[in-house]
Amino acid sequence: QKEVEQNSGPLSVPEGAIASLNCTYSDRGSQSFFWYRQYSGKSPELIMFIYSNGDKEDGRFTAQLNKASQYVSLLIRDSQPSDSATYLCAVRGGYNKLIFGAGTRLAVHP
Amino acid sequence: ETGVTQSPTHLIKTRGQQVTLRCSSQSGHNTVSWYQQALGQGPQFIFQYYREEENGRGNFPPRFSGLQFPNYSSELNVNALELDDSALYLCASSSPGTSISNEQFFGPGTRLTVL
């Protein structure tokens, strides 16, 4: 079992819709969770971090954490073509390292 | 822009050669982590340097080695290159400590191709 699992996609949504990206993790002791966006050929950029159960909102982005189910999600409201990218879920491990999933490719079509 | 820089941007090497990649951390950050990202995969942790010493290592062989300098910049060295070493190499800097939200800031990466 991989430590962090994501559906590779592609997830295709129409412009203006809500995109829902999901991630599960195996270490029940994990406390910090991150969502990164990565455009093709570029490095990851942090969108959200979350460490408390429930929802955390920042603009069009909402991160959701359910530690009992070991599940993290990212919702993108009013999706735009510029949101088309790969979204990486990461969990903090020992030495402050990040353990990444393989990423979900999102395609927002006009 | 995160303030983390990496050089070179692209590099082509042949099997068996050695390569050195460089990273300058963001101002005020004294911890540097290196990641390898193969095509279609998420970044994989190679190792971390704090105060010029290796401070944690992922599942990579000893031919992957590193250095950190007094100004907190860092090098990643890979000996005896293999075809599977072809990847995007990412450097991330962070401040020390155990803050639950301690963020890592990624540089633009170095694309290494091994032929």
Do residue B44 and residue A46 have CB atoms under 8 angstroms apart?
Answer: no
pLDDT for A19: 97
Residue B100 has pLDDT above 60, yes or no: no
pLDDT for A9: 85
3-state secondary structure of B65: strand
Instruction: Give CA–CA dist B53/B32, Å, rounded.
Output: 10
Instruction: Give CA–CA dist B48/B64, Å, rounded.
Output: 12
Do residue B43 and residue A88 have CB atoms under 8 angstroms apart?
Answer: yes
Do residue A97 and residue B102 have CB atoms under 8 angstroms apart?
Answer: no
Do residue B42 and residue A103 have CB atoms under 8 angstroms apart?
Answer: yes
Instruction: Give CA–CA dist A6/A108, Å, rounded.
Output: 18
Of all residues in chain A, the percent with pLDDT exceeding 90 is 86
> Bridge partners of A100?
A90
Residue B108 has pLDDT above 80, yes or no: yes
Do residue A95 and residue B41 have CB atoms under 8 angstroms apart?
Answer: no
Residue range B45-50: mean pLDDT, rounded: 94
Out of B40, B56, B109, whose CB is closest to A97?
A: B56
pLDDT for B98: 53
Residue numbers in A near B55 (CB within 8 A): 95
CB atoms within 10 A of CB A3: 14
Contact (Cβ atoms closer than 8 angstroms) between residue B49 and residue B68:
yes
CB atoms within 10 A of CB B13: 16
Contact (Cβ atoms closer than 8 angstroms) between residue A12 and residue A84:
no
Instruction: Give CA–CA dist B100/A39, Å, rounded.
Output: 26
Residue A46 has pLDDT above 80, yes or no: yes
Residue A87 has pLDDT above 90, yes or no: yes
Residue B97 has pLDDT above 80, yes or no: no
Instruction: Give CA–CA dist B66/B20, Å, rounded.
Output: 9
**How many residue pairs from chains A and B have C-beta atoms closer than 8 A?**
64
Out of B33, B56, B108, whose CB is closest to A43?
A: B108
A103 to chain B: nearest residue by CA? B42
Angle, CA of B35, A8 and B83, to the nearest 5°: 45
